[in-house]
């Protein structure tokens, strides 16, 4: 039987993959599965990031404090989700915050970086807080997610 008579023969070529470590031909699906497992291992987020997701509230960076012609980038305005009054903000005073972003170059085995900060006081009457971060937040953080952690706790 030639190639023309057996149309399934070329398909077999594409379905088999020769494993370079064992020199054994195996189905391509096994190789694809192995590659996906490696990707998952490589792209898994750091442990501190996984642990941190348990007691976290979402928030949105609204920029920095400013006047008509001046900006004060060392203090950021953050809108915490489901917080709509000055009284509700009082509970968040002193709580830690983290702006987590992804960088191009790996550092300490991870592409993720974190800028830590804390809630200092309310800003206005509608649930916005002022926060100071270890280093000023970059401009691309405006409108981005900030994580609010439920510690230190006064309870």
Place of tokens 């989700």: 81
Specify the higher pLDDT residue, 70 or 39.
70
Residue 125 pLDDT greater than 50, yes or no:
yes
- Average pLDDT over the chain reads 80
Specify the higher pLDDT residue, 4 or 105.
105
Is there a domain that residue 13 lies in? yes
Specify the higher pLDDT residue, 3 or 58.
58
Q: Are residues 39 and 95 in the same domain?
A: no
Per-residue pLDDT tens over the stretch 103-114: 999 999 999 999
Q: Are residues 56 and 117 in the same domain?
A: yes
Task: Return the sign of the alpha-carbon dihedral for residues 115, 100, 50, 132.
Answer: positive
Q: Are residues 38 and 113 in the same domain?
A: no
Output the pLDDT for position 23: 66
Output the pLDDT for position 154: 75
Q: Are residues 31 and 90 in the same domain?
A: no
Residue 40 pLDDT greater than 70, yes or no:
no
Domain holding 19, by residue range, is: 9-43
Q: Are residues 38 and 54 in the same domain?
A: no
Q: Are residues 77 and 16 in the same domain?
A: no
Q: What is the count of structural domains for the chain? A: 2
Is there a domain that residue 4 lies in? no
pTM above 0.75, yes or no: no
Q: Report in angstroms the alpha-carbon separations of 3 from 6, 10, 38.
A: 5, 8, 36
Per the structure block, which two tokens stand in for 70? 């001046």
Q: Are residues 91 and 124 in the same domain?
A: yes
Is there a domain that residue 3 lies in? no
8-state DSSP, 47: H
Q: How many other CB atoms are there within 10 angstroms of residue 101's CB atom?
A: 15
State how far the Cα of 112 lies from the Cα of 149, in Å rounded to an integer: 18
Q: Are residues 37 and 107 in the same domain?
A: no
Is there a domain that residue 2 lies in? no
Residue 42 pLDDT greater than 60, yes or no:
no
Place of tokens 């009284």: 87
Query: Tell me, what CATH number does 118's domain have?
Result: 2.40.10.190
Instruction: Return the closest-CA partner of residue 57 out of 155, 135, 153, 147.
Output: 147
């Amino acid at each position: 039987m030639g190639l023309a008579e057996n149309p399934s023969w070329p398909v077999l070529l594409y379905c088999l993959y020769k494993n370079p470590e064992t020199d054994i031909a195996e189905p391509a699906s096994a190789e694809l599965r192995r590659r996906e497992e490696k990707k998952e291992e490589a792209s898994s987020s750091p442990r501190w990031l996984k642990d941190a997701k348990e007691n976290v509230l979402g928030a949105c960076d609204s920029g920095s404090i400013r006047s008509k012609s001046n900006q004060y980038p060392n203090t950021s305005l953050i809108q915490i989700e489901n917080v709509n009054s000055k009284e509700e903000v009082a509970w968040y005073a002193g709580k830690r915050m983290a702006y987590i972003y992804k960088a191009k170059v790996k550092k300490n085995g991870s592409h993720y970086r974190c800028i830590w900060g804390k809630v200092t006081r309310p800003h206005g009457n509608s649930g916005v807080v002022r926060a100071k971060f270890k280093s000023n937040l970059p401009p691309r953080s405006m409108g981005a997610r900030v994580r609010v952690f439920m510690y230190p706790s006064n309870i």
